Structure 1
Amino acid sequence: MTPGAADWKYEVNQPASVQVTVLKNDVPLEEVTIRYEFGPEMLAAEKKGTLKLKQGRGKIDIGTSREPGFRQLLVETEYRGKTYRNLVKVGFSPERIAPTVALPADFSAFWEAAKAEAAKVPMDAHLTFLPEHSTSTVDVYLVNLQHYKHGQRLYGFLCKPKAPGKYPVLFSPPGAGVKPAAPNTFFADQGFISLSTEIHGISPLLDAGTYKNLSNAFGDYMSVRLDDRDNYYYKSVYLSGIRAIDYLSSLPEFDGQNVVVTGGSQGGALAMVTAALDQRVKAVAAFYPALCDVTGYLHGRAGGWPHLLNARAAGTNNTPAKLRTIGYYDVVNFARQLTVPGFYSWGYNDNTCPPTSVYAAVNAVKAPKTVVIEPITGHWRFEETNQESMEWLRQQVGSSLFPIKKP
């Protein structure tokens, strides 16, 4: 799937085309017929059809967009009784995509009050050394903190370089789901004390079978109490980032000034939220953040994960109370508050966190930003981009004293 534009971007009202090639062993297949459909990203197709390829190749004109945004082409073909599919998305003036979500007038006051209330809860930290997860260079611990309300716990893995000294600290919130996790010593090997957390108050050391049962019991947590801005599920989750930094900042090995946050998907959203809420954060690196411009679907375009207002869910969630709550939790409104440098990266072929929603958030950031687009990627990134983000984070904290190590 090869867009006509080398960078997969067009201007508004400029026609777009995609060359489709069907290959086996990198050689075009003869006598291939494909089925295709195209239209606005994540919405109903505008056109469907079939095309017989010549020497395994053909071109499909997918139209244009009158507004900044994305269009997608879906293609499938049959070969020896099996169906093969692919997708490609192209952007139209994406740097001009504006958010659809409204900013509540009392947004800052709401979160300042929430932070003040949560700060009254003692941290009550418990630390358990995990020798089986530690390495020759990194000590790993299970951390158990109290946060948000008395009795509510936050679990995570703390990774500390064994070499004595003062270090910058790094908070790494998790992607979506209720699932087991393992410590990641990569950041500690780069010269950071890192804390990666679990957001549901469950020990990440539980076995996969137990987590599977818990996941079924939790269900779609991202919709829990969506009609109540003061008790929505994500309120405690957003505030947990501040408690994580409370803990990291209390460590005697902390260098006293350098705090960074990084994550992908839900973790990318939480990284941006934490950086907006906590003035101790010095830099943020976010990959394909979720929870961005969730209201996009109400304006004829894709909204962000968890797709609370798409055609399937809008009948349940498109209510005044729930829309009001969304305004206080949409990452776009935190992006508008950011004042620290940011590294942002995503791809175009992402149906989990669609690029339209991510652009809406990152375009709203007024702070200095480094944007790395890898159009071909979906809900994943290249290792080279991981390395680029790590080098960028190290520059933000002046970590030239620590040699760069690959995972």
Structure 2
Amino acid sequence: MRNLRVDIVRIILTGLFASQFIVCYGGDLKVNIVPDHNDWIYNIGENVTFKVSISGDTPGQFSVSYEIGPEKMTAWKEDSFNSSNKEFIIDGGTMKVPGFLRCTITISFGDITQEEYATAAFQPWEIVPTTEYPKDFLSFWEKSISKARKIPLDTQLTLIKDKCTDTYNVYQVSYLNDEYKNRSYGILTIPVKSGKFPAVIRFPGAGVHPSGGNLAIADKNIITIDLYIHPFPVLWEKKFYDNLRESPYIDYKFWGAYNRDAYYFRRVISGCVKAVDVIFSLSQFDGKNLASWGSSQGGALSIITTSLDKRINMLVALCPAMCDFTGYLHGRAGGWPHFFNQENMEKYNTQDVLNTVPYYDVVNFARNITVPGFYSWGFNDETTPPTSIYAAYNVIKASKQVFIIPEGKHRIYPEQPKKTNQWILDSFQK
């Protein structure tokens, strides 16, 4: 537990992030807020002070308002005042239980308003899940995957000539997924030269647009599949996917949640596992080195697929979604897609949904991870809250490496793919 704190301090001290400030731009006005601990981590009962600085043109006096409370939850404290000082501190108080305390500050004058926030961690290594582990969790997924595998892959490759290079060929790959004979799709790269190669499956973040392929790591003589979780080819015109985004399809993350057999992600997960079958069917695969990689929704699917298919021997999960859905029902942040937050509570806080979500909660898959993993996230992430991520991370018993970006929000930072790709390359057996 203390190693996590040591790792974070080391990251701060080695200067990977030259600036310890959260910056929000609005014209010439910049608002910066940061806790008074360099690693942003506190012990329960320890007081946190948030340091605020403002740069840019401001009038002699401006308005300051702030809220303090657990991330994603109703504020404990609200206050406002006028100030002419561009540097000041806000007493954040403390927490009595493990979790994350957020201070959100708003600076305003005239028509100008800027908001920023910072999130302090309180003994996050002691956060425990709220989700229940169904007694038939493993048997449910064993039966589901077995049923999907009774459908032949019928793998089809379509060469994408304009994406091919001197070192790798690029294909649209499709294969039959489940008992309804839906097809799953993705972008596949295979090295041009002869030989046997390791492979990486990259799982997609949330949304309806397909990826263009994991081309950066493909150039290292590695087979890659970038999956597309929706049942449409990845080569159609962009307008088609734009129309999906403007249609009810964007709510796929909630579809069927009233029944564990009908939830949209059941088909998604079976397609992810069958992507492993596709890799093992390739004559160019070396048969032993297979990594999974994903961010947000993709981070969740990376953990889920690795948990279900033991042929994957390493995983990367950045800011994983779908962790500890029921956190909101216990007074703290829960995972994306936020079934039980204030916005969705009335619709989804039903017994049917509560019976379904444990079978799709990353926490319960994380309990069964047996291979090394590289994990990374930020404390300022509002989409995949760190409280929910730690609920899953803390139950993983396998070897794990963590790279925390305290000021990180919900995005991929350049250091993350650089570090994780190198970790995968170093981990492949020669």
- Paired with 2:366 and 2:210, the residues of 1 have a C-alpha distance of 29
Shift of 1:220: 1.2
- Paired with 2:363 and 2:83, the residues of 1 have a C-alpha distance of 43
- Paired with 2:271 and 2:223, the residues of 1 have a C-alpha distance of 18
Provide the alpha-carbon RMSD of the alignment. Answer: 1.5
Which residue in the other structure is 2:3 paired with?
none
Shift of 1:83: 1.4
Residues 141-220 of structure 1 correspond to what in structure 2 (within 5 A)? 141-215=171-245, 216-220=247-251
Which residue in the other structure is 2:133 paired with?
103
- Paired with 2:83 and 2:163, the residues of 1 have a C-alpha distance of 53
Shift of 1:231: 1.7
Using the size of structure 2 for normalisation, the TM-score is 0.89
Match of 2:45 among 2, 5, 13: 13
- Paired with 1:51 and 1:243, the residues of 2 have a C-alpha distance of 58
Secondary structure of the 2:304 match is helix
The AA in structure 2 aligned to 1:208 is K
The AA in structure 2 aligned to 1:346 is W
State whether structure 2 residue 78 is matched by structure 1 residue 44.
Answer: no
Match of 2:285 among 238, 247, 254: 254
Shift of 1:312: 1.5
- Paired with 1:20 and 1:53, the residues of 2 have a C-alpha distance of 12
Which residue in the other structure is 1:138 paired with?
168
Residues 1:381 and 1:150: Cα distance change in structure 2 (over 3 Å): closer
CA contact (8 A) 1:289 1:353 kept: yes
Shift of 1:76: 1.4
CA contact (8 A) 1:170 1:194 kept: yes
Deviations 1:294-346 (A, max 9, x none): 10000000000000011121111111111111010000000001001110000
CA contact (8 A) 2:304 2:362 kept: yes
Secondary structure of the 2:65 match is strand
The AA in structure 2 aligned to 1:226 is A
Which residue in the other structure is 1:129 paired with?
159
- Paired with 2:86 and 2:429, the residues of 1 have a C-alpha distance of 52
State whether structure 2 residue 89 is matched by structure 1 residue 59.
Answer: yes
Shift of 1:385: 2.3
Residues 1:320 and 1:32: Cα distance change in structure 2 (over 3 Å): same
The AA in structure 2 aligned to 1:209 is K
Shift of 1:80: 5.6
- Paired with 2:239 and 2:215, the residues of 1 have a C-alpha distance of 25
Deviations 1:265-310 (A, max 9, x none): 0000000000000010000000000000010000000000000011
Structure 2 gaps, min length 5? 1-32
The AA in structure 2 aligned to 1:309 is F
The AA in structure 2 aligned to 1:18 is F
State whether structure 2 residue 280 is matched by structure 1 residue 224.
Answer: no
Which residue in the other structure is 1:404 paired with?
none
Secondary structure of the 1:218 match is helix
Shift of 1:255: 0.6
Residues 78-89 of structure 1 correspond to what in structure 2 (within 5 A)? 78-79=108-109, 81-89=111-119
Secondary structure of the 1:248 match is helix
The AA in structure 1 aligned to 2:54 is V
State whether structure 2 residue 380 is matched by structure 1 residue 380.
Answer: no
- Paired with 2:155 and 2:47, the residues of 1 have a C-alpha distance of 58
- Paired with 1:149 and 1:23, the residues of 2 have a C-alpha distance of 59
Deviations 1:344-391 (A, max 9, x none): 000001000000000110011011100110011101232122211111
Match of 1:354 among 385, 400, 420: 385
- Paired with 1:23 and 1:235, the residues of 2 have a C-alpha distance of 49
CA contact (8 A) 1:23 1:29 kept: no
CA contact (8 A) 2:213 2:225 kept: no
CA contact (8 A) 1:266 1:291 kept: yes
Residues 1:372 and 1:29: Cα distance change in structure 2 (over 3 Å): farther
Residues 1:372 and 1:52: Cα distance change in structure 2 (over 3 Å): same
Shift of 1:53: 4.2
Q: Give the % identical residues.
A: 39
Residues 1:376 and 1:96: Cα distance change in structure 2 (over 3 Å): same
CA contact (8 A) 2:209 2:241 kept: yes
Deviations 1:131-169 (A, max 9, x none): 111223221100111111242010100012222221111
Secondary structure of the 2:241 match is helix
- Paired with 1:308 and 1:150, the residues of 2 have a C-alpha distance of 27
Work out the number of aligned pairs and report it.
Answer: 397
Greater alpha carbon shift after TM alignment, 297-306 vs 12-21: 12-21
The AA in structure 2 aligned to 1:2 is V
